[in-house]
Amino acid sequence: MTAPAVAPPPITPPPADVPASSELPLTVIDGRTHWSWDDVRELWRFRELFFYLTLRDIRLRYKQTALGVGWSVFQPLATIAVFVVFIGILGKAAEGVAGSYTLFVIAGVIPWTFFASAVMNAGNSLINNERLVTKTYFPRLALPAANVFAALFDFTICLALFAVAVGVFALAGQPVVLTWQLAAAPLVAGLLVLLATGFGVLFSALIAAQRDFRFLITFGMQLWMFATPCIYLPPDSLSPTARMLLQFNPVYGLILNFRASTLGTPMDWPALFVAAAMTALVLAVALVYFRRVDRTLADTI
């Protein structure tokens, strides 16, 4: 004798305020060839990762060192001492500088040290974090950008010491006349950060694709410093043709006007405009090429 069929219990629908599914949204990782607003939103979504990458780079730089943060000051001080002694005193370059030649060199070496450190560290950021790049997904642009902002930490410390040096020379009878041009210093510094980011991103992609650029950037930055004579020589000591050609070196215009804005000397507006245009160009080219390399970065690095 068969048992009577039992009707299944009725299915109670979920309340209206309970979501139908608690699954995470689907994220599709593809090899896009262009930038879009989705990439900007993604960078913003990973802002905490960017912050901790920057903090990690700052900590690792001075980990297990005796001087610690003092190394961020020692390198520019050594460069300043070399220029002051061998070019200023022995080379008589100080004769063409209004005011103190030491302050003249300090105002040039500090922004250059930031730029060189930011570009070199950002350029090597991808291959130095090879396991992180190949094991997990995140916006790879955060790595070179984090190295630039880590170098900005050292730049801030050097700026504080620069302010102290200005005060010391003022007490010694060589005061600096502060003018309205000081308001342009943050603008010039911001352009310098963007330029360092552009070259850092570009070199990081180039080094990831071809390791030869890793050796090129090492001695290339040294040659670049001497190809930027406004760091250690007054502009009046150069010929008009040389000054015109040097404007196509974007660092030249930025360092020249950073010194002018902080020490109260005349601004070179044409050089600043050319530097700003070249900064935008370098940043655009770097982002386009980085996107191209990023498509196959995990396989080629």
Judged against a pLDDT cut of 90, whether residue 197 lies above it is answered with: yes
| Per-residue model confidence as pLDDT tens digits over 27-61 | 655 556 667 777 778 888 888 988 999 999 888 87
**Residue among 149, 238, 210 at smallest CA distance from 252:** 238
Residue keyed to tokens 């500088």: 97
Whole-structure pTM value:
0.84
Find the radius of gyration of the CA atoms of the chain: 26
Q: Where are the alpha helices (DSSP H) in the chain?
A: 37-45, 47-61, 71-82, 101-123, 125-128, 130-135, 142-171, 185-209, 212-226, 240-246, 250-263, 269-294, 297-300
| Per-residue model confidence as pLDDT tens digits over 269-285 | 999 999 999 999 999 99
Which DSSP category does 150 fall into? H
| Per-residue model confidence as pLDDT tens digits over 55-99 | 998 888 777 776 677 777 888 888 888 888 887 766 666 665 656
pLDDT of residue 119: 96
Question: How many Å apart are CA 5 and CA 130, to the nearest integer?
Answer: 64
